[in-house]
Amino acid sequence: MSNYNNEMVEKFRGNFLKEVEANVEEGDWVKMCMQCGVCSGSCPLGPHWEHPPQEIFMLIRANKREEVLNSSSMWMCTSCYNCIARCPRGLPITHIMHGLATYAKRLGLAPKQQATAKFAQLFWDNLVKTGRVNELKLGLSLYFMNGIGEGIKTSLKMKDIGLGMLKTKRMSPMEMLGGHGCKDAKGLHAILKKAKEIEEAKIGIHGA
């Protein structure tokens, strides 16, 4: 993976904007930002970001590759779409945030202990297994994400909600044993594999 990172560094030689345009979903739009700051002002989480969207775009144009890709910022995006709705230049900001996050992860540069990044991985792993989300397992793995002690504490805290969900049949204890899935999980795996191949070929990951 860091091999891929080196390749990209080599390939784009200090032109991070070009790299983003080539490898990040909707990255083409980054140059169109006019630095008005409306996105940063609209983001409900803006004040908590290391670099709000406007700054991320400026950092990209200022060639600050590490600073952007190591940042926890884009992982903070909750997909509320406030910024997209308001950006006078029509940048698909939300999508670019997710694009950057994905790209950073591919390069192995995403922050290791970032909570949303971790959750995203758990969610993905859970989902692809059977093609359906297993709420029980996902919930538990989420609680135990940061160790056993914290896991038990959170589980106890969430106990009432869990029981309520069982009672209203929103969740089944049987899920623990395997759980429901889509009709053709194998077929799904094949589709995902193909998709991965296509995408990696597009952004130049060789034999990953």
**Minimum CB distance to ligand SF4, residue 47 (Å):** 11
For position 13 contacting another protein by CB under 8 A, the verdict is no
Q: Which range of residues in 53-61, 115-123, 146-154, 187-195 is near another protein by CB under 8 A?
A: 53-61
**Minimum CB distance to ligand SF4, residue 206 (Å):** 32
For position 35 contacting another protein by CB under 8 A, the verdict is yes
Footprint on this chain of ligand SF4 (rule: CB under 6 A): 33-39, 42-43, 45, 53-54, 57, 77-83, 87-89, 91, 93-94, 97
**Minimum CB distance to another protein, residue 103 (Å):** 20
For position 66 contacting another protein by CB under 8 A, the verdict is no
Phi/psi of residue 33, nearest 5 degrees: -65, 135
Q: Which of residues 169-188 bind another protein (CB under 8 A)?
A: none
**Minimum CB distance to another protein, residue 64 (Å):** 8
Of 87 and 205, the one with the shorter C-beta distance to ligand SF4 is 87
Which residues lie near another protein (CB under 8 A)?
17, 31-32, 34-35, 54-55, 58-59, 61-62, 64, 89
